[in-house]
Amino acid sequence: MKLEKGIVEVYTGNGKGKTTAAIGLAIRASGWGLKVSIYYFMKTGGYGENISLSKFDNVKQGFFGKEYFLTKDENIAKKFNAVLVKDRPPEDYIELVRKGFEEARKEMLSGETDIIIMDEVLTAIFYNLISLDDVLNLIKEKPESVELVLTGRYAPQEIIDKADLVTEMKEIKHPYSKGVSARKGIEY
């Protein structure tokens, strides 16, 4: 099976479920024999979904993140030992994300993949790891038969305007606010 018409999908917002929605799409597409490539930005792997998806022959995964996370909030940086980003993140992080972005772009243009998922690429824009213009150009270059899925908080309005489908996950209530840590098998 091949897609006749691929669209641009965006999953954004401050609520839980952006990556989960993209992974659900990957599983559904894989079931129909479509080839899926997932590029995780700002993540290193080792989550339950990565373990499960590694068992699918038609799903490819690549990880372009560091063991630490980035924040623009000084309190969060202190509390979680995260790297505080005021203007420009660490250069090696920028290089890693750009490498992943170029791999995703080449894969999208190769004609060999039906669905490209760029998980947390919108967050990578927010932290200046990749430019908005690079992602907008990627959308312009997207072949007609490729589905392009972009996830992450802080979706720029320019990307929302170019996308065909935009879903915002809105946090109403989350156990983190009560001090409940991420749970293996549920949040990762």
Residue 12: inside a domain, yes or no? yes
Residue-wise pLDDT for 40-96, tens only, equals 999 998 899 999 999 999 999 999 999 888 999 888 888 877 888 988 899 999 999
- For 17, the domain range is 8-176
Residue 187: inside a domain, yes or no? no
The percent of the chain in helix, strand and coil, each rounded to the nearest 5, is 40, 20, 45
Residues across the chain: 188
Residue 26: inside a domain, yes or no? yes
pLDDT bracket for residue 114 (50, 70, 90): very high
Relative to beta strand 59-64, strand 36-41 is parallel
For the entire predicted model, the pTM comes to 0.92
Determine the residue type at 128: N
pLDDT bracket for residue 187 (50, 70, 90): confident
Residue 1: inside a domain, yes or no? no
Report the CATH number at residue 44. Answer: 3.40.50.300
Residue 146: inside a domain, yes or no? yes
Residue 3: inside a domain, yes or no? no
40 close to 61: Cβ distance less than 8 angstroms = yes
Residue 87: inside a domain, yes or no? yes
* Predicted pLDDT of residue 78: 82
Residue 184: inside a domain, yes or no? no
* Domains in the chain, number: 1
Which backbone phi and psi does 151 adopt, to 5 degrees? Answer: -125, 165
Mean pLDDT of 1-22: 95
> How far is 152 from 121, CA to CA, in rounded Å?
6
* Predicted pLDDT of residue 79: 80
Residue-wise pLDDT for 116-135, tens only, equals 999 999 999 999 999 999 99
- Distances in Å between the Cα of 125 and the Cα atoms of 98, 117, 151, 155, 179 are 11, 15, 11, 8, 29
* Predicted pLDDT of residue 154: 97
- Distances in Å between the Cα of 12 and the Cα atoms of 57, 65, 101 are 28, 19, 19
Q: Tokens 């505080």 belong to which residue?
A: 84
